[in-house]
Amino acid sequence: MNSQKAIVIGASSGIGKELAKILAHNNYVVGITGRRIHLLEELQKELSASIFVKQMDISRTQEAITQLKELIAEIGGMDLIIINAGIGFINPDLELEKEQATIDVNVSGFIAMATTAMKYFLAQKSGHIVAISSIAALRGNRGAPAYDASKAFMSNYMEGLRTFAAHSGFPIATTDIKPGFVDTAMAQGEHIFWQASAEKAATQIFHAIKNKRKHAYITRRWRIIAWLFRNIPDFIYDRL
């Protein structure tokens, strides 16, 4: 039986790196991308010859689309893509450069990867798109407005792709992953509430992928916070 082929967009550290490890250990042929090529090459050496590396900055959308297509050809196809690349800033002063950089990666770059993958899977008549959004997608945040808005965009777009796939008639799955706090470079501060290790988060994400979940909170107990976020009145939320 041929091995499944997976590509992780944004695998140089954190959740993406741990997912690449799990996929490799479960006999996937894995393609990994990121801006920091030396970290990708270190991971390639750590794992096995079935790891393929491609340097990529998804904010450069046209280049990234070409690079994704090249990587698909190099690994001999694609059954699963995990779009994990993302950035965010605490930006209480609303510096436009930071807001724009967030949109360039988390929105424009995400769309470039997601649409390219969907077109590939439509031609193949099967596949699975996974996006790592965030619990932040549920409400706006005065400290990081572009980040939360970009994650809400991702989640909404993934729902659109899910209905798009359903109407195609092909078995194309979509999974929207909403992590809470995970111990990565994106998490800032000490003693962060309910912070999970990248390894634990990746393990639960892989379980959601195997079960083709439409969406999943990581770790699972963040479902409680999601319920609170959705139901807390504005007059209370505005004062938090």
Q: Which residues, 6+ apart, have CB-to-CB distance to 94 below 8 Å?
A: 145
Q: How many of the other CB atoms lie within 10 Å of CB of 171?
A: 12
3-state secondary structure of 146: helix
Q: Which residues, 6+ apart, have CB-to-CB distance to 64 below 8 Å?
A: 56, 57, 58, 109, 112, 113
Put the strands of the sheet holding 29-34 in their side by side order: 51-55, 29-34, 5-9, 80-83, 127-132, 172-179, 215-218
* Residues β-bridged to residue 129: 81, 174
Nearest C-alpha neighbor of 205 from the set 4, 16, 50, 58? 16
Catalytic residue among 147, 157, 217, 237: 147
Residue 127, sorted as left (phi over 0), alpha (psi -120 to 50) or beta, turns out to be left
Give CA–CA dist 134/84, Å, rounded.
11
Instruction: State yes or no: is 147 an active-site residue.
Output: yes
Active-site annotation, residues: 147
